[in-house]
């Protein structure tokens, strides 16, 4: 099986995509992957894409051309894994519903900006979440998202309503996995900046998610 991974980073610099790409590159190399790093969405049209084990987009906002999104979709449908975090995967290419269909969700708000909140593990039996505390505290943007009901949700967060009263009590997915065709897709909304990879729970969940998506 291929142990080749592609990271494509860019977009809004506030999410520190270059720094994040360096952290993820190290994680993948430590797991035995050969990692290629690119900064253009045109890379998604590369003829070698279907031969990869894993693609990691770290690309907040920006735009993707229709043929690029279609090529990415075909690769994932054919069995290439896709994994990402925070806005680098689920606040990317807002105009592309084709891309959002692969990911299984889209960011729409983070009430209160950087706040303290809890993450609740809902599937402690899943290998990705095994041994992770069933509730842990986190400080970052608490993502409010539009999500695909077909996602297999592994962790959630609850909104207090302090910053937006009308969403008090809403339980929102934080970590999920899904299939897109034959491809495995993993997402975690944790990770506003690269420093958050120093949080043990965040880092370990994402590391395991990368490996799961890669098969």
Rounded to whole angstroms, the Cα distance separating 180 from 130 reads 24
Taking only the tens place, the pLDDT of each residue in 148-157 is 999 999 999 9
Complete DSSP assignment for 151-180: -EEEEEEE--SSS-GGGTT-EEEEEEEEEE
pLDDT for the residue numbered 2: 72
User: Which residue carries 């070698």 as its tokens?
Assistant: 48
Taking only the tens place, the pLDDT of each residue in 131-144 is 999 999 999 999 99
**How far, in Å, are 50, 53, 173, 178 from residue 146 at the CA level?**
28, 27, 9, 15
Percent share of the chain, pLDDT over 90: 99
Judged against a pLDDT cut of 70, whether residue 63 lies above it is answered with yes
Taking only the tens place, the pLDDT of each residue in 27-47 is 999 999 999 999 999 999 999
pLDDT for the residue numbered 108: 98
55: left (phi over 0), alpha (psi -120 to 50) or beta: beta
What CATH architecture applies to the domain 4-213? Answer: 3-Layer(aba) Sandwich (3.40)
Query: Between β-strands 144-147 and 183-188, what pairing exists: parallel, antiparallel or unpaired?
Result: unpaired
1: confidence class by pLDDT, cuts 50, 70, 90: low
In 15-141, where does DSSP find H-type helix? 17-30, 66-77, 86-90, 97-103
Q: What is the dihedral of CA 52, 57, 63, 65, to 10 degrees?
A: 10
Rounded to whole angstroms, the Cα distance separating 116 from 113 reads 10
Distance of CA 165 to the CA centre of its chain: 27
Query: Between β-strands 183-188 and 171-180, what pairing exists: parallel, antiparallel or unpaired?
Result: antiparallel
Taking only the tens place, the pLDDT of each residue in 75-114 is 999 999 999 999 999 999 999 999 999 999 999 999 999 9
Rounded to whole angstroms, the Cα distance separating 89 from 58 reads 6
């Amino acid at each position: 099986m291929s142990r080749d991974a592609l990271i494509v980073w860019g977009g809004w610099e506030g999410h520190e995509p270059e720094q994040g790409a360096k952290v993820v590159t190290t994680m993948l190399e430590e797991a035995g992957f050969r990692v290629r790093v690119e900064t253009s969405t045109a890379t998604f049209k590369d003829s070698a894409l279907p031969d990869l084990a894993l693609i990691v987009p770290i690309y907040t906002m920006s735009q993707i051309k229709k043929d690029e999104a279609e090529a990415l979709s075909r690769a994932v449908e054919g069995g290439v894994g896709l994994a990402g975090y925070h806005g680098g995967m689920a606040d990317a290419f807002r105009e592309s519903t084709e891309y959002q269909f692969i990911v299984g969700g889209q960011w729409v708000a983070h009430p209160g900006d950087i706040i303290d909140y809890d993450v609740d593990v809902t599937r402690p039996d899943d290998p990705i979440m095994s041994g992770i505390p069933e509730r842990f505290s986190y400080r970052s943007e608490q993502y409010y998202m539009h999500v695909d009901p077909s996602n297999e949700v592994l962790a959630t967060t609850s909104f207090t309503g302090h910053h937006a009263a009308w969403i008090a009590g809403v339980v929102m997915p934080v970590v999920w996995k899904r299939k897109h065709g034959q491809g495995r897709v993993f997402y975690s909304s944790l990770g506003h900046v690269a420093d958050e990879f120093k949080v043990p729970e965040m880092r370990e969940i994402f590391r395991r998610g990368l490996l799961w998506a890669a098969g």
